[in-house]
Amino acid sequence: MKAAAECYLCLMSQVLRTSRVLGLNEALSQTMAREACAFLAETDFDRTPPEISEDLYRLLSELSGNEDPYAEIKKDNIQKALKLYPELKQTVEASADPLRAALEISLAGNIIDFGANAEDDWLSDRRFLSLGSLALDDYDQLIKDLERATSIVFLGDNAGETVFDRLFIERISKKVRYAVREKPIINDATAEEACLSGLPEVAEVISSGCRAPGTVISQCSADFLKILKESQLIIAKGQGNFECLEQIPGPFYFLLKAKCEVVSRYLGVEKGSLVLTKSRNFQAKLALNI
């Protein structure tokens, strides 16, 4: 999915949010905003939003000298999520359909995202536990494909929801590989955050090789691509992974909150909807032209 005009505005809002997270003074905040504008005026918009984001956040890191502005926020979100974990696990186990309950919790965890939205009170009001129905819901098909699959990859998204993804993966009685970003980008999970979330207890944590906030195939490591090609089911979490992968034929299911107008419009759902959707380009094995 290519970036749209609205992405200019969203990216600028991320620049200002990052300035606040970094605690920059007014002069430095203005410098950062100005440099971001210069970047946006020149960068190729005939790309997916995560590819543009990656370049923008690299610029912000260079300007601020901070490679991981969201480090503390990531840790904090994981701690908060881990505190909820025992209670949520009981909720799942007491449910009539534990897999479905765990999937909904994993999906609701996708509200945590400082890229698209700043909802830092996501835990305090426990909104994420009172889900409405999903705007797109291919659960029945997912279950069938999950039963058939012997090789499963879960593409993670943000730090914090990683704990809720663990709840879901626990319910899958098969080997799952959990893929994370290669290096810090916004609040996305890297191997470090996956470990802090306890994911190694239920999955093999692997790096995609990407440091974009999404799985950009051209950046993926050869090892990771080999794993993807051999997979019979790839569950991709979040907007970034959706934006990067929805055009690529393969065994993809997308699990995301549609956080912006651009993605919501593309999916044909209301902004803010929770979505579990089988790829429109679904096929049994990943086909790549690279």
Q: Name the site residues for a second copy (rule: CB under 8 A).
A: 4-6, 8-9, 12-13, 15-16, 19, 26, 29-30, 32-38, 40-42, 45
Q: Per-residue DSSP letters for 37-70?
A: HHHHHHS--SS-HHHHHHHHHHHHHHHHT-S-TT
Q: Report the nearest approach of a second copy to the CB of residue 2 (Å).
A: 9
- CB 41 → a second copy: shortest distance, Å? 4
Question: How many C-alpha atoms does 8 have within 13 Å on its Cβ side?
Answer: 12
CB of 123 to a second copy, least distance (A): 25
Q: Minimal distance in Å, beta carbon 29 to a second copy?
A: 4
In the complex, what is the shortest distance from the CB of residue 4 to a second copy, in angstroms, rounded to a whole number? 6
Nearer Cβ to a second copy, position 63 or 123?
63
Cβ within 8 Å of residue 169, ≥6 positions away: 154, 176, 178, 199, 202, 203
A 10 A CB-CB count for 229 gives 13
The residue (of 11 and 105) whose beta carbon lies closer to a second copy is 11
Helix (H, G, I), strand (E, B) or coil at 73: helix
Return d(Cα 125, Cα 166) in angstroms, integer.
22
CB of 15 to a second copy, least distance (A): 8
Distance in angstroms (rounded) separating the CA atoms of residues 281 and 234: 13
Contact 188, 213 (CB under 8 A): yes
Give whichever of 6 and 62 is closer to a second copy, judged by the CB atom: 6
Choose between 9 and 131: whose C-beta lies nearer to a second copy.
9
Taking the least distance from each CB to a second copy, the nearer of 38 and 131 is 38
Q: Which is nearer to a second copy, 24 or 258 (CB)?
A: 24
Q: Which CB, 12 or 288, lies closer to a second copy?
A: 12
Residue whose C-alpha is closest to residue 287's, from 217, 236, 239:
217
- Residues 78 and 194: their CA atoms lie apart, in Å, by 9
Contacts of 116 (CB under 8 A, 6+ apart): 10, 239, 259, 260
Tell me which residue has tokens 């879960």. Answer: 154
CB of 17 or CB of 89, closer to a second copy: 17
Residue 215 Cβ, how far from a second copy at the closest point, in Å?
24
Please name the amino acid found at residue 91: T
Give the DSSP letter string of 146-178.
HHH-SSEEEE--BTTHHHHHHHHHHT--S-EEE
